Amino acid sequence: MIAQDWNEAKSQVDIWKGEGLKVVFTNGCFDILHRGHVEYLADAKACGDKLILALNSDRSVRELKGDSRPIQNQEDRAAILDALKSIDLVVVFDEDTPADIVKMLVPDVLAKGGDYTPDTIVGADTVIENGGEVKVIPFRPG
């Protein structure tokens, strides 16, 4: 499922939580999807029942990676990611960090790759303050 906006994503999260499901959140650009990404996303999904992927918008990818990026536009990246069996919901964010969307969705688990540490993961404080947990998924080359 590709959420049209953050409110649609929040509604879906509320439904899942109401059903007692554990909601996992991760984020990234995923501009050039590779095997390491796919394995990472499967590992993140294994941390709970439902996986939300907050996808950097085209504008935010350019800010992070330079004017030649993204290679694939956000609609294409969202469609490709939505086709993966590990991902239950894709939502695009345009901000420089996912802090605001993490505050809105309040996932049970915040997952990031092994190139992060718990103290450098944006949104970790929000998740922990709300009784959730932060998981660092071992880095997968790709």
Residue in 119, 127, 136, 134 with CA at minimum distance from that of residue 103: 127
23 falls within a domain: yes
pLDDT in tens, 65-106: 888 888 989 999 999 999 999 999 999 999 989 999 999 999
The boundaries of the domain holding residue 84 are: 6-137
Kindly report which listed range (22-26, 84-88, 98-102, 138-142) carries the lowest average pLDDT score: 138-142
The whole model's pTM is what? 0.91
69 falls within a domain: yes
142 falls within a domain: no
- The domain total for the chain is 1
Which CATH number goes with the domain that contains 71?
3.40.50.620
- Angle among Cα 117, 118, 121 to the nearest 5 degrees reads 90
